[in-house]
Amino acid sequence: MTSYDLALLLHLVAVIGFFAGMALAAAAQVAAGARRWPGEIAALLALARMGVLLVGAATLLVFVSGLWLIEETGRSLGDGWIALSLALLAVAGLLGAIGGRKPKRARLLAERQAAGTRPDPAIGALLRDRLSLAANALAAAAAFAILVLMVWRPS
């Protein structure tokens, strides 16, 4: 296995981890929004948090292995599609952070109330926050745009 092969393998594994983490976080958040009881919501949002942690770790590996691939292939950070991909990665991270604030507050609130028996409508309101949902959707769109650029690699 060459150095290039290893860099590519790590990059592809990281991309799979990135999208798996996004899918896990999104699915758990949607499932939490459909629940009524704080204990269930807290458990599902804890699972979503694991997805977010996977996205973070995978992002780091995507970035490092991507720089390694640039070095291996003789490409440049100045190549339009690479520069745009890096900008989109930053945008996706920022939007994901913005979109994750209300679900995090919902998780913390649900954890505090998990022992209680009465559902709190504030938890559901936090999970249905339109700004958070839009930011997360735009973060996902940015991530998919990066995937398109990586496959297409326009000159």
SS (HEC) of 48-104: HHHHHHHHHHHHHHHHHHHHHHHHHHCCCCCCHHHHHHHHHHHHHHHHHHHHHHHHH
* CA 81/CA 73 separation, integer angstroms: 14
| Residues 16-62: tens digit of each pLDDT | 999 999 999 999 999 999 998 999 999 999 999 999 999 999 999 99
What total of structural domains would you count in the chain?
A: 1
Residue 120: strand, helix, or coil: coil
Q: Is the pTM of this model over 0.85?
A: yes
Reading the block at residue 129, the tokens are: 């926050």
Q: What is the residue range of 90's domain?
A: 3-152
Reading the block at residue 100, the tokens are: 């994750």
